[in-house]
Amino acid sequence: MLIILPPSETKRPAPRMGSPLDLDRLAFPALNPMRERVVAALIETSTRPDALERLRVRPGLIKDVVQNTALRRTPTQPAWQLYSGPLYQGLDPDSLSKAAVARAKRWVLVASALWGALRPTDLIPTHRLDVCSHLVGMDRLQPLWRTVLPAQLATAAGPHGVVLDLRSTGYRAIGLPAGMADRTVLVRVLPRPGERTVGDVIAKRVRGQVARHLLESGADPMNPDELVDALADQWPARLDPPASGKSWVIRLRPSD
């Protein structure tokens, strides 16, 4: 199976020591020409007077924009340890078993506005880049990545098994696995009984827990029905079939 994660807006600080960015050490080397373009444009944009507006960053995060200018020199760390938002709190990669980590290296992919696609252990520096940013000398990032990313995602998914896409709508817009809508499953988190809505933080954390559950259990579903069965022992869940050309959807409620 393939589990596609989004990046995280919140990130851990850069380590005091570590190797700098080396694009040639990242997974999916076919993406390197596009990565190089986006990295160079982000660095240039971050030096501009209008950087906050272009990067959609509020003034209180100006240090993050300054950090972008040192992108090639900043010590790196594994992607899933750099990202620290609610989804990655639910995933809690530091406490995964050795078997789960081994599965993650094969099954998990992070789709990013800066890197395109990463494996969770790829070494990257801290940075700030919203998927809707307007970088100097470039068109919008979403259609740009769609020219190269769908084929890479399809290759990573392989010919069999489920694609579990845990990204938000904005990050799904940078590319879907080409020709795999009938194998792709989204997760929608429902409110608990008696509640009208579910908070974004809770929904993201639950999606991280879903990824963790699959990695720890070792379940390797070959179709959406097997996937919902693998999750139903942990959450009340139902599977909705896709509309024409759309993906399957699993709707589940958070555990108490």
Summarised one tens digit per residue, pLDDT across range 85-123 is 999 999 999 999 999 999 999 999 999 999 999 999 999
pLDDT of residue 97: 98
The mean per-residue pLDDT over the stretch 31-37 comes to: 98
Percent of the chain with pLDDT over 90: 87
Q: What is the pTM of this model?
A: 0.95
pLDDT of residue 193: 77
The mean per-residue pLDDT over the stretch 194-217 comes to: 93
Helix (H, G, I), strand (E, B) or coil at 77: strand
Q: Where are the beta strands (DSSP E) in 94-170?
A: 108-112, 116-118, 123-124, 163-165
Q: Determine contact, residues 129/113, Cβ cutoff 8 Å.
A: yes
Number of separate domains in the chain: 1
Whether residue 244 has pLDDT greater than 90: no
Taking all residues of the chain, what is their mean pLDDT, rounded to a whole number? Answer: 94
Whether residue 238 has pLDDT greater than 80: yes
Measured CA to CA, the distance from residue 95 to residue 100 in angstroms comes to 10
Q: 189 to each of 36, 173, 185, 202, 240, how far by Cα in Å?
A: 36, 20, 13, 8, 13
Whether residue 194 has pLDDT greater than 80: no
Question: Which residues constitute the domain of residue 236?
Answer: 2-252
